Structure 1
Amino acid sequence: MSNSERAKPSKASSKSVKATDARIRRTHERLGLALIELILDNPIDTVTVQDVLDRAGVGRSTFYLHYRDKDDLLWTQLEQFFEIMSNLLDSKKEVSRRVLPVREMLEHVGIENKIYRALADSGRLHDFFDLAQQYFARSIEKRLSGYRKLLNISGDELTARANALAGSYLALMRWWIDSKGKLPPQAVDDLFHGMVWKGLE
């Protein structure tokens, strides 16, 4: 028997791995949903790991197999959100001059702004924006790289501009939330991308 044949997993073991992965995914989803539900109704710092376990119906040993503590679970949930949002235009195969799905993000934030408020009340908003900046800057740089010849800018300048634009978007989002959505999400999307291309061109 060759090494490659010996290393090849059987169909049965492949199914077992997929089933295990699905179970882990469901556990993550239950824990994440439980935490979000709890912090919508309670200050974040008053929510305990035990509260999350009771709401999710998950054992303590299972929780600590995947997460260090409640904050680790919280930031994992936020990272997953930013990962989905920062790649949304690519996953939709959208061909446009949009560099971020601003409308979609604001529609989501508009529904979930209790989470934003909970982060603000707990003093975690700065960390939230730092995390968002990283994801959105990478997404903008990736989208703009397709226009690099048109823009005639170096790689370093592209990275710098992407970071500046991500910061501008987050400031705009903060204004939109604080103003209780004075403009419709589509109008904010148009405004942001108008500023993006006016500045670049």
Structure 2
Amino acid sequence: MPEDDPRVRRTRSRLRSAVLELAEVRDPDSITVAEIAQRAEVNRATVYVHYRDRDDLVLDAMETAVGELAADAARCPYREPGPAPAALVALFEHVGARAPLYRRMLGPYGSARFCARLREALVAGLRTPFAAGSRPPGHDDVPPEIHAHHVAGALIGIITYWLGEHPPRPAAEIAATAWNLIGSGR
């Protein structure tokens, strides 16, 4: 079926919503394709018409969220000193609003494919501003590609740590800590 067919878009949207709803309350590895199909009100075979496997569906379902997160990271004014920028606070608010899902996806039994996709999206979002010189002072000698990978890895590490806190500190507070480590907040 063509990708632009309204029925294809509708079915994929229902499947994405179903897997995200299930992943917020259960470990993604324990969710079966049959459960996703039942929640989306389609038959099991329909899932395989649209996706290779459950992980492929989860990655597609998280693509919009990952893109939003990467865009927030790219909007940070890394060259400008000061408090944590609103874009970084928004990044942590985004994760906090979806904490159960991110906790499962980035946790010890999460998805390596999701973690890799998140890292790729962050690097892609950071590459352009870093190449244009939007990096913290004192880092101009670091190649932009390496710096983008460094910040992406740091953000994933901080997000993972934060999601493991009980209770997690407020988004603005963890953003300020992250900014002190990766931005111009010093």
What TM-score, normalized to structure 1? 0.70
The RMSD of aligned alpha carbons is 3.4
> In the alignment, does 2:110 pair up with 1:145?
no
Corresponding residue of 1:97: 77
Corresponding residue of 2:119: 133
Cα distance change of structure 1 residues 37 and 190 upon mapping to structure 2, 3 Å threshold: same
> In the alignment, does 2:40 pair up with 1:67?
no
How many Å apart are 1:153 and its aligned residue? 4.2
Q: What is the number of equivalent residue pairs in this alignment?
A: 178
How many Å apart are 1:181 and its aligned residue? 5.7
Q: Which amino acid aligns with 1:97?
A: P
Cα distance change of structure 1 residues 175 and 118 upon mapping to structure 2, 3 Å threshold: closer
Unaligned runs of 5+ in 2: 80-84
Greater shift in the superposed pair: 65-74 or 180-189: 180-189
How many Å apart are 1:188 and its aligned residue? 2.8
Corresponding residue of 1:28: 12
**Of the two, which has the highest radius of gyration?**
1
Contact 1:116 1:125 in 2 (8 A): no
TM-superposition CA deviations, 1:132-167 (whole Å, max 9, x none): 21111121122222326987847x811001111111
Select 1:173's aligned residue among 159, 162, 173: 159
Structure 1 distance, partners of 2:138, 2:180, is: 16
Contact 1:176 1:183 in 2 (8 A): yes
Cα distance change of structure 1 residues 148 and 115 upon mapping to structure 2, 3 Å threshold: closer
Unaligned runs of 5+ in 1: 1-16
Structure 1 distance, partners of 2:146, 2:61, is: 27
Select 1:47's aligned residue among 16, 26, 31: 31
Q: Which amino acid aligns with 2:130?
A: L
TM-superposition CA deviations, 1:92-150 (whole Å, max 9, x none): xx6x6159943223213223222234336672254433222111112112222232698
**Higher helix proportion:** 1
Structure 2 distance, partners of 1:194, 1:117, is: 23
Cα distance change of structure 1 residues 89 and 114 upon mapping to structure 2, 3 Å threshold: closer
Structure 2 distance, partners of 1:121, 1:89, is: 21
Cα distance change of structure 1 residues 33 and 174 upon mapping to structure 2, 3 Å threshold: same
The percent of aligned pairs where both chains have the same amino acid is 22
Q: Which amino acid aligns with 1:55?
A: R
TM-superposition CA deviations, 1:59-109 (whole Å, max 9, x none): 34432221012121012222332123213577xxx6x61599432232132
**Aligned-partner SS, 2:42:** coil
Select 1:76's aligned residue among 49, 53, 60: 60
Q: Which amino acid aligns with 1:168?
A: A
